[in-house]
Amino acid sequence: MAGQLKEVRNRIKSVQSTQQITKAMKMVSAAKLRRAQDAITQMRPYAKKLQEMLSNIVSATEGDMTIKLAEARNVEKVLLIVITSDRGLCGGYNANLIKLAKNTIAEKYAQQHKNGNVTIWNIGKKGFESLSKAGYKTNDTFKDIFLNLSFENVQAAAQAAMKAFENKEFDAVEVIYSEFRNAATQRYTLEQFLPIPKVTNTSGSKKSDFIFEPAKEELIAELMPKILNTQLYKAVLDCHASEHGARMTAMDKASDNANELLKSLKISYNRARQAAITTELTEIVSGAAALQG
């Protein structure tokens, strides 16, 4: 009985210790989330407008000139840029992104994968570790971007993807990331990066008519890479905020679960303690009765 009490006491201490850690991690993630949320909230309208402008330019100039980054080709070689986090303890966040990557390959690029023509560039260590172990063709050049998150580091990845597409190393480039909604909600997204998607005009309205100054070719050559850099940076910021939101939510739930477990353990401890006291009293009474007899 004494051994059982000691075991329950040890479990209570262990759960209390774990709960302190989960509460501390929740507070840290909440502080980081505020900064990450501010960053993506400020970036999103700007990036959205740039994306609309880029798609409109590509659609408006269609037939007038050849734009390498908008050139639609028969898709034989594919690049997936998969953005996950460097650390775990954030619920199903990384698992959902990795699942989306695997499903995309299985459903959309099955033949290309069979031919060994699907390459994954990982941003974030968790995705790289998981997809490498699963036997996918991965590249770790940009996996440590979150160690020093900056526009310049993300720009390097975007420019490398653009160069590879222009050199026909890949016929399509897609980005898998988590779009931040709020601390408890993320939308796991597959987004076409290259070739640049054109505006889908289903309403019958006219395409945007741009007046180019300086020359159209010169302006597009300067504008497109900058806009694409911004698009990838926006996706990385979305993931950065999503990670901290998911971790904060996961740690909050873990703390609540620890509370429930502590309640259950304390009930078990009190019952075991009462049983021990009852046993001791019974032994004392039995001993006294034996002496009297």
Among 197, 200, 186, which residue's Cα sits nearest to residue 227?
197
Could you tell me the pTM of the whole model?
Answer: 0.84
Residue span of the structural domain in which 227 resides: 21-251
Lowest mean pLDDT among 175-189, 197-211, 244-258: 197-211
Query: Is residue 284 assigned to a domain?
Result: no
Residue 30 in domain? yes
CB 93 within 8 A of CB 239: no
Which pLDDT belongs to residue 116?
Answer: 95
Tell me the helix, strand and coil percentages in the chain, rounded to 5: 65, 10, 25
**215 in helix, strand or coil?**
coil
Q: What's the whole-number mean pLDDT along residues 46-57?
A: 81
**Per-residue pLDDT band at 65 (split at 50, 70, 90):** low
The answer to whether position 266 is within a domain reads: no
Measure the N-to-C terminal CA separation of the chain; round to a whole number of Å. Answer: 29
> What is the Cα–Cα distance from 161 to 165, expressed in whole angstroms?
6
Residue 201 backbone phi and psi in degrees, to 5:
-100, 95
Q: Is residue 49 a part of any domain in this protein?
A: yes
Average pLDDT of every residue of the chain: 88
Sign of the torsion formed by the C-alpha atoms of 30, 35, 40 and 42: positive
Which residues have C-beta within 8 Å of that of residue 278, sequence separation ≥ 6? none
pLDDT higher for 67 or 271? 271
Q: Which of 60, 81, 90, 224 is catalytic?
A: 90
Q: Is the pLDDT of residue 61 over 80?
A: no
90 is known as an active-site residue: yes
Residue 84 lies in a domain: yes
180 in a structural domain? yes
Q: How confident is the model at residue 196, as a pLDDT? A: 86
pLDDT in the model for residue 203: 46
145 pLDDT band, cuts 50/70/90, is very high
Tens-place pLDDT, residues 130-140: 999 999 999 99
Task: Tally Cβ neighbours within 10 Å of residue 292.
Answer: 6
Region 47-57: what's the mean pLDDT?
81
Q: Percent of the chain beyond pLDDT 90?
A: 62
pLDDT digits (tens, 9 = 90+) for 32-49: 999 999 999 999 898 888
Residue found under tokens 């004494």: 2
Which CATH number fits the domain that encloses residue 185? 3.40.1380.10
158 within some domain: yes
Neighbours of 47 (CB within 10 A): 20
More confident residue, 60 or 218: 218
- 20 three-state secondary structure: helix
Output the pLDDT for position 277: 82
pLDDT at 188 > cutoff 70: yes
Residue 157, pLDDT score: 96
How many domains does the chain fold into? Answer: 1
Please indicate, yes or no, if residue 59 is contained in any of the structural domains: yes
CB 145 within 8 A of CB 153: yes
Residue 69 has pLDDT above 60, yes or no: yes
Strand partners, 187: 179
Q: What is the spatial distance between Cα 225 and Cα 67, in angstroms, rounded to a whole number?
A: 12
Q: What is the mean pLDDT of residues 254-281?
A: 87
Q: What is the pLDDT of residues 193-249, one digit of tens each?
A: 999 887 655 444 445 566 767 766 777 778 889 999 999 999 999 999 999 999 999
